[in-house]
């Protein structure tokens, strides 16, 4: 047995423990994160609970904090089970405050000793959760232990993994293989973007972020030069090859090497979902989650065709705003010895902006975006796998720097978040810069 097999066997054992805890419950209180991985995690569990007729109350939140703990405690009875998806591993002090049994299904690095009744986390099986198993994948493994009938939910697990920029190796590869073998997913080669008219796709798609993104005049010239038009899904093999080669050349001028790999290759089509193109679904879920339209996102994952048009329209408008914000933010970017950062106010999605900055515009240093809104500063940090290979660990840097200024933070080595008090931005980035410098010596 290979080490991969042993690790997967271990995570399946943990998933079985989680499933056993769920089976004995009369009512479940579910809390999950508001990005595509957290939303697909919640949707997988909701469908599985519906199928075994266990009632539940589900909430999608932006972060786990004291307010969430209070809301949960005010909405549960003594024997209820509380499940946290895509959060909870790094906040044992908050989990401890829940007044009933807790199941954590997560893929972030665990911190300290968890007071949860059961924790299902790939790190506990020796699997790096930042890359090889998402929260949705972990939740899928739990739900598959509830019933083998839940194998049709593998497409949502793959969606969450793609949303978290994961690699399809180790446990993710096992889930993908299972999904393909059971006709849950089909694969085509090409550009990893959503469906639609090629000009519209290039104009409004956040990734890949090109020098022509958001500029219809430049896009039209680019497509005229290539003699391409029509729906992107209907391009011939030769035309798709021409398009992907031209985009790869554009990316090679400035983007990180992994950005090229991330946008050209195998496209996954979800045969059971109402939005079949996985990149469309990721965009919609992330957008709806960040805009407090999580019920729309969950409905989409529950295969409600009636919400597709509304969810797609919300996403398109949001993408247009974010593209404009990225262009405006370029003039705000500041350089420190070990990081790049920006300070702004009332942005649509600081996480998306930070991710695009580091993947497509400034790949040589971790990127920190800070957005002051509603009396707090939301911070989003992103790195590349190349930077992680040099020692960067944003989860540790954010946790320590945020605590240092009276906030809180954490996440993955490659993607982390924090909330800090207004006025503490410069102190925060100075501390992160210092920590990253130590990490990469």
Q: What would the 3-class secondary structure string for the chain be?
A: CCHHHHHHHHHHHHHHHHHHHHHCCCCEEEEEECCHHHHHHHHHHHHHHHHCCCCEEEEEECCCCHHHHHHHHCCCCCCCEEEEECCCCCCHHHHCCCCCEEEEECCCCCCCCCCCCEEECHHHHCCCCCCCCCHHHHHHHHHHHHCHHHHHHHHHHHHHHHHCCCCCCHHHHHHHHHHHHCCCEEEEEEECCCCCEHHHHHHHCCCCCCCCCCCHHHHHHHHHHHCCCCEHHHCCHHHHHHHHHHHHHHHHCCCCHHHHHHHEEEEEEECCCCCCEHHHHHHHHHHHHHCCCHHHHHHHHCCCHHHHHHHHHHHHHHHHHHHHHHHHHHHHCEECCCCEEEEEECCCCHHHHHHHHHHHHCCCCCEEEEEEECCEEEEEEECCHHHHHCCCCHHHHHHHHHHHCCCEEEECCCEEEEEECCCCHHHHHHHHHHHHHHHCC
Into how many domains does the chain fold? 3
- Same domain flag for 90 and 8: yes
- Same domain flag for 362 and 424: yes
Q: Give the pLDDT score at 319.
A: 94
- Does residue 157 belong to any structural domain of this protein? yes
Q: What is the pLDDT of residues 44-68, one digit of tens each?
A: 999 999 999 999 999 999 989 999 9
Q: Give the pLDDT score at 389.
A: 94
- Same domain flag for 366 and 293: no
Confidence of residue 368 (pLDDT cuts 50, 70, 90): very high
Average pLDDT over residues 28-53: 98
Cross-strand bridge partners of residue 120: 105
**134 closest CA partner among 102, 90, 91, 87:** 87
Q: What is the pLDDT of residues 124-141, one digit of tens each?
A: 999 999 999 999 999 999
Cβ atoms of 360 and 366 within 8 Å: the answer is: no
CATH number assigned to the domain comprising residue 426: 3.10.310.40
Q: Give the pLDDT score at 439.
A: 96
- Same domain flag for 23 and 165: yes
Average pLDDT over residues 368-395: 95
pTM for the model: 0.90
Range of the structural domain that residue 201 is part of: 188-320
**174 closest CA partner among 150, 154, 146, 190:** 154
- Does residue 326 belong to any structural domain of this protein? no
Q: Give the pLDDT score at 253.
A: 87
Q: Give the pLDDT score at 397.
A: 97
Q: How far apart are CA 16 and CA 145, in angstroms?
A: 6
Average pLDDT over residues 178-197: 94
- Does residue 179 belong to any structural domain of this protein? no
- Same domain flag for 300 and 352: no
Q: Give the pLDDT score at 406.
A: 95
- Same domain flag for 412 and 433: yes
Average pLDDT over residues 227-247: 93
On the question of pLDDT at 262 being above 80, the answer is: no
Q: What percent of the chain has pLDDT over 90?
A: 89
Cα-Cα-Cα-Cα dihedral of 193, 195, 198, 199, to 10°?
-90
Cβ atoms of 86 and 135 within 8 Å: the answer is: yes
On the question of pLDDT at 416 being above 60, the answer is: yes
- Same domain flag for 305 and 166: no
On the question of pLDDT at 149 being above 90, the answer is: yes
On the question of pLDDT at 400 being above 80, the answer is: yes
Domain boundary at 296, 320, 344, which?
320
Cβ atoms of 352 and 325 within 8 Å: the answer is: no
- Does residue 264 belong to any structural domain of this protein? yes
Average pLDDT over residues 216-232: 96
The phi and psi torsions of 191 (rounded to 5 degrees) equal -95, 125
Confidence of residue 265 (pLDDT cuts 50, 70, 90): confident
Q: Give the pLDDT score at 1.
A: 57
Confidence of residue 2 (pLDDT cuts 50, 70, 90): low
Cross-strand bridge partners of residue 101: 81
- Does residue 180 belong to any structural domain of this protein? no
On the question of pLDDT at 100 being above 70, the answer is: yes
Confidence of residue 264 (pLDDT cuts 50, 70, 90): confident
For the chain, what is the mean pLDDT? 95
349/46: higher pLDDT: 46
- Same domain flag for 348 and 383: yes
């Amino acid at each position: 047995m290979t080490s991969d097999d042993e690790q997967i066997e271990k995570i399946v054992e943990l998933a079985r423990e989680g499933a056993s805890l769920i089976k004995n419950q009369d009512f479940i209180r579910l809390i999950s994160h508001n990005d595509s991985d957290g939303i697909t995690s919640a949707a997988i569990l909701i469908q599985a609970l519906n199928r075994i007729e266990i009632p539940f109350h589900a909430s999608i939140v932006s972060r786990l904090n004291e307010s969430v703990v209070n809301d949960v405690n005010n909405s549960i009875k003594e024997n209820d089970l509380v499940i946290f998806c895509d959060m909870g591993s790094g906040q044992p002090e908050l989990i401890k405050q829940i007044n009933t049994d807790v199941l954590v299904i997560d893929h972030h690095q665990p911190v300290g000793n968890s007071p949860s009744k059961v924790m299902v986390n790939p790190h506990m099986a020796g699997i790096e959760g930042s890359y090889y198993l998402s929260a949705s994948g972990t939740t899928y493994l739990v739900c598959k232990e509830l019933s083998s009938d839940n194998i049709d939910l593998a497409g949502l697990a793959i969606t969450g993994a793609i949303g978290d920029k994961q690699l399809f190796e180790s446990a993710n590869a096992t889930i993908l293989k299972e999904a393909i073998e059971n006709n849950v997913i089909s694969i085509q080669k090409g550009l990893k973007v959503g469906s639609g008219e090629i000009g519209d796709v290039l104009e409004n798609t956040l990734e890949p972020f090109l020098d022509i993104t958001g500029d219809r005049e430049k896009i039209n010239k680019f497509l005229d030069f290539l003699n391409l038009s029509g729906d992107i899904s209907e391009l011939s093999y030769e035309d798709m090859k021409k398009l992907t080669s031209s985009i790869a050349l554009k990316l090679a001028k400035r983007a990180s090497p992994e950005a090229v790999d991330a946008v050209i290759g195998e496209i996954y089509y979800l045969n059971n979902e109402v939005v079949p193109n996985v990149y469309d679904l990721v965009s919609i879920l992330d957008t709806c989650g960040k805009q407090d339209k999580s019920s729309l996102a969950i409905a989409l994952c529950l295969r409600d065709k009636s919400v597709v048009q509304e969810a797609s329209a919300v996403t398109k408008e949001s993408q247009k705003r974010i593209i404009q914000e990225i262009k405006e933010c370029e003039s705000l970017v500041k350089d420190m010895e070990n990081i790049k950062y920006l300070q702004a106010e009332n942005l649509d999605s600081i996480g998306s902006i930070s991710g695009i900055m580091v993947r497509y515009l400034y790949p040589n240093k971790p990127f920190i975006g800070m957005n002051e809104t509603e009396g707090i500063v939301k911070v989003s940090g992103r790195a590349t796998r190349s930077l992680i290979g040099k020692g960067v660990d944003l989860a540790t840097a954010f946790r320590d720097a945020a605590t240092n200024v009276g906030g809180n933070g954490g996440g993955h080595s490659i993607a982390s978040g924090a909330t800090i008090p207004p006025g503490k931005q410069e102190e925060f980035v100075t501390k992160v810069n210092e920590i990253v410098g130590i990490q990469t010596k």
